Amino acid sequence: MKVSRRNWLRTALYGTPLSGFSYGGLVEKNVLSVNRVDIPVAVERSGLHGLKVGLMSDFHHDDFGNETLIRRAVSVLNKENVDVVLLAGDYISDQTAAMESLCGVLSELRPKLGSFGVLGNHDGWHFDESIPRLLEHAGVRLLINDSVEFDEFAVAGLDSYWAGHPDMVRALRSVPSEKPVLLGWHEPDPFDYYAENNVALQVSGHTHGGQICAPVYGPVLLPRYGKNYPFGHYQKHNRSLYVTRGMGTLDIPARFLCAPELAILTMRDFSISSPS
């Protein structure tokens, strides 16, 4: 009998060392890791210099969601005075009823310019009108192949690669070609699928950083369209990709060597010296 990697993982976690499972479920899953990362921007995009972006993803709020953890992240973002909050999708696993309590917490976000979200594959598979309605009510603008312009940059969002119909041309149709774009796209691997354009930074989630990691080996299991860029910052030519490990858990209520992450990304043109 063939045993899938996912079933093997479940068996290993539930059937062997109880202490490891208890640690992953009772401790690490509830520890918020705040990662402050500088994202380099090219000189021609120096208008982005200093822009501070808060990034959260993969709440899977109906799947052992932790409201206290999310509330803590919202509080950190508000104290940090971020310019923009981006939410990279998978608000739920399959039950949209959980959107109400999640959006209750997200409504406390107070970024200077706005909060924006994209759909994840799970949101797409189980989509109903409550997802955009409750996000909008919480002050989060959902971008599905759409964009919003500010003076120095634009924020764009694409539909889920796995569950939807992403359309980059449509998303960027009203954005001038010289204006740098912050792009939300749930799955990270499509970072390789588009040619050079004005995207300065793609933010993604989806991978959960593996959720369960082995020492030295790293992520034990990665999802489709999340295998090439598991977590962290990647650079290709003058484009960056940041993949967050996300906030929640899927399938098993545990994380191991892979704590939930709130990312605070600061755009930096390193040719501009900071005031001393």
* Footprint on this chain of Fe ion (rule: CB under 5 A): 90, 120-121, 206
Q: Three-state DSSP class for 88?
A: coil
Q: Give Cβ neighbours of residue 91 (< 8 Å, ≥ 6 apart).
A: 59, 60, 61, 98, 99, 102, 117, 120, 123, 131, 135
Nearest to Fe ion of 59, 116 (CB atom): 59
CA gap 93, 34 in Å, rounded: 24
Supply the minimum distance, in Å, between the C-beta of residue 40 and Fe ion.
Answer: 27
CA gap 107, 113 in Å, rounded: 14
Supply the minimum distance, in Å, between the C-beta of residue 186 and Fe ion.
Answer: 6
Listed residue (131, 83, 76, 133) closest to 108, CA to CA: 76
Supply the minimum distance, in Å, between the C-beta of residue 31 and Fe ion.
Answer: 22
Nearest to Fe ion of 57, 198 (CB atom): 57
Strands (E), 143-205: 146-149, 154-157, 181-184, 199-204
Rg (CA), the chain: 18
Q: Three-state DSSP class for 111?
A: coil
Nearest to Fe ion of 162, 256 (CB atom): 162
Supply the minimum distance, in Å, between the C-beta of residue 126 and Fe ion.
Answer: 12
Supply the minimum distance, in Å, between the C-beta of residue 24 and Fe ion.
Answer: 20
Q: Are 83 and 52 in contact (CB under 8 A)?
A: yes
Nearest to Fe ion of 83, 90 (CB atom): 90
Nearest to Fe ion of 146, 187 (CB atom): 187
Q: What is the separation of C-alpha 139 from the centre of its chain, rounded to a whole number of angstroms?
A: 17
**H/E stretch holding 123:** helix 121-125
Supply the minimum distance, in Å, between the C-beta of residue 170 and Fe ion.
Answer: 22
CA gap 142, 132 in Å, rounded: 6
Nearest to Fe ion of 82, 263 (CB atom): 263
Which residue number is nearest to Fe ion in terms of Cβ?
206
Residue where the block lists tokens 């909060």 = 115
Supply the minimum distance, in Å, between the C-beta of residue 225 and Fe ion.
Answer: 8
Nearest to Fe ion of 66, 93 (CB atom): 93
